[in-house]
């Protein structure tokens, strides 16, 4: 088993993890993009070495997303969106380094838990995953959508923003590859050429979070001679593992949620971190602290999205079905080598299976070592004067938007449009976070809802399909009730005389 540990194998994992972290840390670049760029290299490397590189890129790319999410408030990847909710407020309070270390430790735990689950239970979990039909998948997405209520400072406006996000996400073609009819919907006449494929997620994300923030800063203006050095990186806010005291259940639950969501093909990493975050807030004794710099929020988000890494390999290796967009690319590495993944893969290829598990383990440890000890240097990004930092961020955002779909100029326009919209949102008191969650989850919700009705006939199926559906309704109702009680409590506190 350990004869695979050649210097080349280990170097490819470590190198891949480093490149992945860099891709994840640059707004607009993702783990998926890192894997896509390096996929052709794997042809000459051979299967095990090629997978070592790609798995390093995968783990690094997912983990690297927390750096801009915490330091700049721009999610490096869609799955690190919930990391911004508490990470960025902590950075603004001068606890950036502490927040980064919390995220890195949570990422490691999430990655290792999911790897353990993958190694021990992959075929069994794949059998469980196929019990989730359109109905159960819709209810999981619906459960994730309930976070819109919990995240909003004004529940009505928050839910409106979320529904607006869903609406905007549905612009374009009802794609035949999603089981749709291929027809256009919500596309104004004359814009068909550009809006045929709708708005891409990443340009929307970095427009709303990145460009909008820069526009807001531009509006305020940067005083001459002033720099971001007044934002304390956090040398004084020392990190201690004590911050995880009382968080072990959150850590384990979020890791398992990430793993579980990963094994469900099509649900995706964003849903993993959003569901983990919702649960952490719902079960917290101090939910009012979430969104204002609560370490538990970062733990939930990062353990959740890294938990996805092992989980998403379960359906890939046991059913030949990718769990998320990045593992879909990994199939390319197998097919380029003439290897078929499917239910016989693990039994027929024990050497490759062992190599993948070892590669994932080393990638997680390498990610931790590189990020934990280099984080002080990452964190220095906030000390760069804004008049230098912002143009660089803007340039990276534009390059990222242009490259995400292999050079489509409309994606750059999307970035600019949603940057301006994000800036207008603050003027109109609309909320960006529920909007983007609606935008991310809306298309999946639509597909699973429509396909459920097409397949099973009427809406009662959502309540009667299976015990899993009933359990999911309990969670949905619990989450909504928690959000309503929380809103009431906040209102009472606000109305109390000082």
Backbone angles phi, psi at 172, to 5 degrees: 125, -155
- Are the C-beta atoms of residues 40 and 66 closer than 8 Å to each other? no
Single out the residue of 197, 228, 383, 490 in contact with other proteins (rule: CB under 8 A). Answer: 197
User: How many positions of this chain bind other proteins (CB under 8 A)?
Assistant: 51
Q: Which of 6, 124, 153, 181 binds other proteins (CB under 8 A)?
A: 181
- Phi and psi for 61 in degrees, rounded to 5? -65, -40
Among 41, 336, 468, 476, contact with other proteins (rule: CB under 8 A): 336
Query: Contact between 407 and other proteins (CB under 8 A)?
Result: yes
Interface pick for other proteins out of 335, 380, 391, 489 (rule CB under 8 A): 335
342 binds other proteins (CB under 8 A): yes
| Binding test (CB under 8 A) with other proteins, winner from 1, 340, 385, 391 | 340
Q: How far is the CB of 265 from other proteins (least distance, A)?
A: 5
> Judged by CB, which is closer to other proteins: 278, or 325?
325
40 lies in the binding site for other proteins (CB under 8 A): yes
Choose the stretch contacting other proteins; rule: CB under 8 A; options: 232-240, 322-330, 419-427, 489-497.
322-330
By CB under 8 A, tell whether 329 contacts other proteins.
yes
Q: Which of 1, 156, 176, 459 binds other proteins (CB under 8 A)?
A: 176
Distance CA 122, CA 313 (A): 8
**d(Cα 261, Cα 279) in Å, to the nearest integer?**
14
Phi-psi region at 290: left, alpha or beta (left = phi > 0; alpha = psi -120 to 50): beta
The neighbouring-strand residues paired with 185 are: 172
Going residue by residue from 230 to 269, which x/- string records binding to other proteins, judged by CB under 8 A? Answer: -----------------------------------xx---
Q: Which is nearer to other proteins, 351 or 391 (CB)?
A: 351
Tell whether the torsion through CA atoms of 93, 88, 259 and 27 is positive or negative. negative
Residue 43 within binding range of other proteins, rule CB under 8 A: yes
Stretch that binds other proteins, among 59-67, 97-105, 255-263, 315-323 (CB under 8 A): 315-323
Q: Is 72 helix (H, G, I), strand (E, B) or coil?
A: coil
Smallest separation, CB 307 to other proteins (Å): 21
User: Can residue 354 be called a binding residue for other proteins (CB under 8 A)?
Assistant: no
Interacting residues of 343 by C-beta distance below 8 A, sequence separation 6+: 123, 126, 318, 319, 320
Place of tokens 């979070």: 209
Distance in Å, CB of 177 to other proteins, minimum: 5
Among 36, 81, 397, 436, indicate the residue that binds other proteins (CB under 8 A).
Answer: 36
Instruction: Candidates 184, 384, 394, 476: give the one binding other proteins (CB under 8 A).
Output: 184
497 binding other proteins? (CB under 8 A): no
Nearest approach in angstroms of CB 346 to other proteins is: 11
Q: Which is nearer to other proteins, 138 or 390 (CB)?
A: 138
* Nearby residues of 498 by Cβ (< 8 Å), 6 or more positions away: none
Residue 191 binds to other proteins (criterion: CB under 8 A): no
- CB burial of 143-182 (b: ≥16 within 10 Å; e: otherwise) equals bbbbbbbbbbeebeebbbbbbbbbebbbbbbbeeebeeee
DSSP three-state, residue 86: helix
Angle value at C-alpha 325, between 328 and 434, nearest 5 degrees: 165
- Measured at the CA of 311, the angle between CA 307 and CA 313, to 5 degrees, comes to 130
Is residue 327 within a helix (H) or strand (E), and if so which, with residue range? helix 325-336
Token pair 């919500």 is found at 186
- Of 87, 69, 70, whose CA–CA distance to 78 is shortest? 69
> What does the per-residue mask of binding to other proteins show for 432-471, with x meaning CB under 8 A?
---------------x---x--xx----------------
Distance in Å, CB of 313 to other proteins, minimum = 14
Distance separating alpha carbons of residues 386 and 326, to the nearest angstrom: 33
With CB under 8 A as the contact rule, which of the stretches 113-121, 153-161, 319-327, 472-480 interacts with other proteins? 319-327
Phi, psi of 385 (to 5 degrees): -55, 140
Q: Binding residues for other proteins, per CB under 8 A?
A: 36, 39-40, 43, 127, 130, 133-134, 173, 175-184, 193, 196-197, 265-266, 315, 319-322, 328-332, 334-336, 338, 340, 342-345, 405-408, 447, 451, 454-455
């Amino acid at each position: 088993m350990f004869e695979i540990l050649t210097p080349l194998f280990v170097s490819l994992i470590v190198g891949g993890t480093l490149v992945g972290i860099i891709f994840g840390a640059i707004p607009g670049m993702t783990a998926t993009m890192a894997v896509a760029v390096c996929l052709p290299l794997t042809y000459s490397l051979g299967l095990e070495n090629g997978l070592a590189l790609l798995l390093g890129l995968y783990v690094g790319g997912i983990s690297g997303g927390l750096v801009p999410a915490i330091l700049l408030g721009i999610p490096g990847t869609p799955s690190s969106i919930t990391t911004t909710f508490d990470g960025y407020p902590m950075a603004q309070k001068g606890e950036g380094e502490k927040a980064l270390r919390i995220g890195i430790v949570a990422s490691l735990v999430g990655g290792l838990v999911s790897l353990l689950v993958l190694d021990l239970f992959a075929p069994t979990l794949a059998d469980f995953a196929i019990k989730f039909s359109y109905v159960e998948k819709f209810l999981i997405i619906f459960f994730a959508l309930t976070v819109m209520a919990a995240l909003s400072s004004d529940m009505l406006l928050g839910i409106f923003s979320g529904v607006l996000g869903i609406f905007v996400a549905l612009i374009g073609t009802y794609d035949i590859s999603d089981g749709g009819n291929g027809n256009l919907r919500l596309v104004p006449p004359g814009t068909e050429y550009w809006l045929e494929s709708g708005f891409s997620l990443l340009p929307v994300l970095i427009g709303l979070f990145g460009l909008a923030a820069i526009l807001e800063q531009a509006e305020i203006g940067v005083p001459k001679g002033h720099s971001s050095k007044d934002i304390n990186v956090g040398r004084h806010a020392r990190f201690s593992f004590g911050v995880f005291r009382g968080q072990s259940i959150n850590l384990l639950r979020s890791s398992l949620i990430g793993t579980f969501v990963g094994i469900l093909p099509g649900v995706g990493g964003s849903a993993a971190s959003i569901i983990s975050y919702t649960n952490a807030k719902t079960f917290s004794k101090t939910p009012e602290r979430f969104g204002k710099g609560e370490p538990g929020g970062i733990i939930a988000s990062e353990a959740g999205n890294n938990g996805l890494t092992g989980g998403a390999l379960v359906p890939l290796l046991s059913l030949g079905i990718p769990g998320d967009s990045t593992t879909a690319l990994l199939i390319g590495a197998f097919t380029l080598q003439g290897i078929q993944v499917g239910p016989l893969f693990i039994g027929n290829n024990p050497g490759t299976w062992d190599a993948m598990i070892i590669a994932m383990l080393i990638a997680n440890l390498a990610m931790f070592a590189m990020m934990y000890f280099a984080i002080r240097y990452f964190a220095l990004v906030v000390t760069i004067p804004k008049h230098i930092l912002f143009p660089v961020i803007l340039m990276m955002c534009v390059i990222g938007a242009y490259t995400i779909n292999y050079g489509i100029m409309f994606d750059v326009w999307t970035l600019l449009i949603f940057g301006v919209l994000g800036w207008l949102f603050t003027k109109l008191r609309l909320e960006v976070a529920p909007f983007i969650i609606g935008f991310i989850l809306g298309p999946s919700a639509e597909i699973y809802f429509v396909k459920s009705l097409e397949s099973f006939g009427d809406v009662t199926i959502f309540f009667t399909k299976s015990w899993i559906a009933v359990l999911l309704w309990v969670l949905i109702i619990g989450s909504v009730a928690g959000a309503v009680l929380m809103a009431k409590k906040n209102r009472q506190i606000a109305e109390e005389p000082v």
